[in-house]
Amino acid sequence: MSRSAHPAGPRHADVLPEGHYSAPAADLNELDPKVWAQTVGRDADGVVTVGGVDVKTLAEQHGTPAYVLDEDDFRERARAWRTAFGHDADVFYAGKAFLSRAVVRWLHEEGLNLDVCSGGELATALSAGMPADRIAFHGNNKSVSEITRAIDAGVGRIVLDSFQEIVRVAHIAQSLGKRQRVQIRITVGVEAHTHEFIATAHEDQKFGIPLAGGQAAEAVRRALQLDGLEVIGIHSHIGSQIFDMSGFEVAAHRVVGLLKDIRDEHGVELPEIDLGGGLGIAYTSDDDPREPHEIAKALTEIVTRECDSAKLRTPRISVEPGRAIVGPTAFTLYEVGTIKPLDGLRTYVSVDGGMSDNIRTALYDAEYSVALVSRTSDAEPMLARVVGKHCESGDIVVKDAFLPGDLAPGDLIAVPATGAYCRSMASNYNHVLRPPVVAVKDGESRVIVRRETEEDLLRLDVG
Ligand SMILES: *Cc1c(COP(=O)(O)O)cnc(C)c1O
């Protein structure tokens, strides 16, 4: 690729460097509804609004960076999943995507259940009033104290992840005089990520008990013998950011095969099957996620068909969407700082956050979109890389995206679809303070997780 001598950095398609990005949108001021929360739009002055509040007001009241979450959108997505699966199925929101007490209350009100995978997530769920019997406890290395607290609280299910844990949970339940409802998590040899899935050789990972070699069948055999356990079903989670349902098809086929073997060997038909989460969302306009009702219809048909051919009663299905509910509901609002055009390459746009509030780009090479939100612009598109303020060259928020060429320090830009795995994975790297989560609804904004302060940081540093 030839280098351009353009004084303000690359501006035109014929001088763009190589990279994984699409051509600039015809109008950079347009906000693709696929990647932005439902109530996002621009007001008469061109300022972006969400939930009836404009981003300049949000920045003034709450500072930047901030995660801005559209409460109506969250509730609608939660409700859409609930409605799509109906009363013969359960929807467990995966708390690890983003968990706060407000979110727990919304989920409770909308009739969803909740997955947790640590003592901290369990404490958050219980303190916000989620009934324990609607909580599922996950994890590949639950501690004895976590298991004890979960059983003591009366969680609806613990998802067992290893042979050791089968014995450990049974023992703790018995010592508490309880019989704990459990599912056994198996790996079916399917791994799905975005548009692809691979149907062999992906049992080489830390989660679950492999179906291969009869290990899953052996786990069920042992669990069924233990008085402290009530085995209610089999669990399978095949990956993340999945668009293609064929991975679930193979997984359901294999899980139902195990249910049939269990029926043949033990004379029991386990009443539940959990197909996990991992459903994809649109991070950029190139992504085309499915609607919850399409997913529900596809999964229900697959399981029903497999059970019919195995002559099994169709078990109760549960699913565990995290990203698909919360991901699209929030964007991260940043203020633009230093702008550095690199001739023939791209323009580096620094923001007041970075890998501490969004690690996904550095960790997974995730793709995001970005837009100027404090005003509109008719300037030529420039190829930009949005970077943070951390002492790390991998501190990239948006790898390649087009922003208006007249972008200036003090402008507000926003990165959409940051509701999942951003605040929940946020760090204090460089002692940067973690941003607040601000919920907006009906023209009002409300802090649901406050910004960290230097006092918070120093409180942990006990000298
Ligand atoms: C992470 C996880 C989920 C949620 O995944 P999403 O991609 O957020 O839908 C669901 N179930 C299990 C067991 C998980 O580990």
What pLDDT, on the 0 to 100 scale, is given for residue 198? 73
What pLDDT, on the 0 to 100 scale, is given for residue 199? 66
CB 181 within 8 A of CB 133: no
- pTM of this prediction? 0.94
Q: Helix, strand or coil for residue 168?
A: helix
Pairing label, strands 113-116, 41-42: unpaired
CB distance 238 to ligand 1 below 6 Å:
no
Among protein residues, the one whose CA lies closest to atom 3 of ligand 1: 277
Which domains, and CATH codes, for the chain? 41-70+328-459 (2.40.37.10), 72-324 (3.20.20.10)
Convert the pLDDT of each residue in 21-44 to its tens digit: 778 888 999 999 999 999 999 999
- Mention every residue, 6+ apart, whose C-beta is less than 8 A from residue 308: 314
DSSP state string for 217-248:
HHHHHHHHT-TTEEEEEEE---EEEE--THHH
CB distance 97 to ligand 1 below 6 Å:
yes
What pLDDT, on the 0 to 100 scale, is given for residue 203? 75
- Mention every residue, 6+ apart, whose C-beta is less than 8 A from residue 309: none
Nearest atom within ligand 1 for CA of residue 280: 7
CB distance 277 to ligand 1 below 6 Å:
yes
Alpha-carbon distance of 68 to 422, in angstroms, equals 12
* 447 CA distance to ligand 1 middle (Å): 26
In this prediction, the residues of the chain whose per-residue pLDDT falls under 70 are 1-16, 20, 199-202
CB distance 374 to ligand 1 below 6 Å:
no
* 374 CA distance to ligand 1 middle (Å): 34
> Between the CA of residue 238 and those of 192, 194, 255, 297, 374, what are the distances in Å?
6, 11, 12, 19, 40
Please count the other Cβ atoms lying within 10 Å of the Cβ belonging to residue 14: 8
* 442 CA distance to ligand 1 middle (Å): 30
Write the DSSP symbol of residue 195. T
The structure tokens listed for 171 are 């023992």
Alpha-carbon distance of 418 to 433, in angstroms, equals 17
Q: Which residues are catalytic?
A: 391
CB distance 242 to ligand 1 below 6 Å:
no
CB distance 419 to ligand 1 below 6 Å:
no
Please count the other Cβ atoms lying within 10 Å of the Cβ belonging to residue 50: 29
DSSP state string for 302-365:
HHHHHHHHTT-PPPEEEE--SHHHHGGGEEEEEEEEEEEE-TTS-EEEEES--TTT--HHHHH-
Pairing label, strands 157-160, 135-137: parallel
Nearest atom within ligand 1 for CA of residue 240: 7
What pLDDT, on the 0 to 100 scale, is given for residue 193? 78
CB 23 within 8 A of CB 284: no
* 241 CA distance to ligand 1 middle (Å): 10
- Full strand arrangement of the beta sheet holding 48-50: 41-42, 48-50, 53-54
Q: Which residues of 360-397 are buried (b: 16+ CB within 10 A; e: fewer)?
A: bbbeeebbbbbbbbbbbbeeebbbbbbbbbbeeeebbb
Convert the pLDDT of each residue in 245-259 to its tens digit: 999 999 999 999 999
The pLDDT mean for the chain works out to: 94
* 332 CA distance to ligand 1 middle (Å): 22
Pairing label, strands 66-70, 48-50: unpaired
What pLDDT, on the 0 to 100 scale, is given for residue 146? 98
CB distance 321 to ligand 1 below 6 Å:
yes
